[in-house]
């Protein structure tokens, strides 16, 4: 079955490089606007929680970081699988660009969770908590993917072998999400992503959604920067890249 034309277009390094150049400034400024407004609304305007007081405000960093930490692994695994199956090198470049960003968001989520957990639970970490341990496994999967790639001198071989690890590691994502339902944990259950209405008031929810959107756009901006660097590294001898370097303003 032939692949659709847009699939091949998005697999073209010159097209994606130029598209990233056009989109980056707009995405960056919109991300900054959402983060500034969302942070002000969440940290200043939102009312204190009736149980946790002002300490709940850490969710405006913790939740977006946790949201991206899991979703980005899905993106990594999908990109790696596409590269492995259809031999699209740009897909491997996307996976390689996503991995350090995903690991960074997991670290932020774990750090802010620990800061919040000490006054709420009386401990920074609990080895018996399924959500916390599965998050640690997620971090190791990101780091393992990057370490495995770095262990091969041949980039094509690194792409293929690391793609297998990325796809296998996807099994941890549903474990993270459902851990609070499958096991008894310290971590609270879903607050926003529920079948019924969210367990959070609108004046707290709107800033949180703005922060999530801001974090997502910030990730896209960072991804485009990293992806352009990855493309330059992979295509350093390509004629189109040499021509691009001679264009005015480059």
Q: Do the Cβ atoms of 49 and 203 come closer than 8 Å?
A: no
- Going residue by residue through the chain (250 aa), what tens digit of pLDDT does each one get? 566 766 667 789 999 999 999 999 999 999 999 999 999 999 999 999 887 888 889 999 999 999 999 999 999 999 999 999 999 999 999 999 999 999 999 999 999 999 988 888 888 888 888 888 999 999 999 999 999 999 999 999 999 999 999 999 999 999 888 876 765 665 665 555 544 556 688 899 999 999 999 999 999 999 999 999 999 999 988 889 888 877 766 6
For residue 91, how many other CB atoms are within 10 A of its CB? 22
Phi, psi dihedrals of residue 49, rounded to the nearest 5°: -70, 145
Which of 170, 212, 172 has its CA nearest to residue 191? 212
Residue pair 67/215 in contact (Cβ under 8 Å)? The answer is yes
- Residue with structure tokens 């802010």? 112
Rg, Å, the chain Cα set: 20
Which residues does residue 53 pair with via DSSP β-bridges, in sequence order? 49
DSSP annotation of 143 reads: H
Q: How far apart, in whole angstroms, are the C-alpha atoms of residue 97 and residue 25?
A: 19
Sign of CA dihedral 148, 152, 155, 160: negative
Angstrom distance (rounded) from CA 46 to CA 37: 12
CA dist., res. 67 & res. 77, Å (int): 16
Task: Name the burial class of residue 162, with classes exposed (0-12), middle (13-18) and buried (19+) by CB atoms within 10 angstroms of its CB.
Answer: buried
What b-and-e string marks burial along 199-230, b requiring 16 or more CB atoms within 10 Å of the CB?
ebeeebbbbbebbbbbbbbbbbbbbbebbbeb
Question: For residue 195, what pLDDT is reported?
Answer: 42
Neighbour count for residue 248 (Cβ, 10 Å): 4
SS3 annotation, 25-45? HHHHHHHHHHHHHHHHHHHHH
Identify the pLDDT of residue 134: 93
Distance CA 38, CA 126 (A): 31
C-alpha–C-alpha distance, residues 107 and 229, integer Å: 23
Q: Which domains does the chain have, with CATH numbers?
A: 23-240 (1.20.120)
């Amino acid at each position: 079955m032939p692949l659709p034309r847009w699939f091949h277009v998005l697999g073209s390094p010159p097209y994606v490089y130029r598209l990233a150049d056009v989109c980056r400034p707009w995405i960056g400024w919109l991300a900054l606007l959402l983060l500034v407004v969302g942070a002000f609304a969440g940290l200043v305007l939102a009312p204190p929680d009736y149980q946790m007081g002002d300490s709940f405000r850490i969710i405006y960093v913790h939740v977006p970081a946790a949201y991206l930490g899991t979703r980005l692994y899905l993106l990594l695994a999908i990109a790696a699988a596409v590269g492995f199956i259809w031999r699209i090198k740009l897909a491997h470049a996307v996976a390689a660009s996503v991995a350090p960003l995903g690991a960074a968001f997991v670290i932020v989520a774990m750090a802010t969770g620990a800061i919040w957990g000490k006054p709420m639970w009386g401990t920074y970490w609990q080895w018996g908590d399924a959500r916390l341990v599965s998050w640690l496994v997620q971090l190791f999967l990101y780091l393992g993917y990057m370490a495995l790639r770095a262990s091969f001198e041949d980039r094509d071989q690194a792409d293929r072998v690391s793609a297998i690890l990325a796809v296998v590691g996807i099994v941890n994502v549903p474990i993270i999400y459902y851990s609070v339902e499958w096991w008894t944990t310290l971590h609270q259950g879903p607050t926003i992503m529920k079948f019924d209405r969210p367990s959070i008031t609108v004046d707290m929810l709107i800033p949180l959604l703005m922060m999530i959107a801001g974090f997502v756009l910030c990730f896209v901006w960072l991804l485009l920067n990293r992806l352009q660097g990855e493309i330059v590294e992979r295509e350093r001898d390509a004629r189109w890249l040499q021509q691009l370097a001679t264009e005015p303003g480059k």
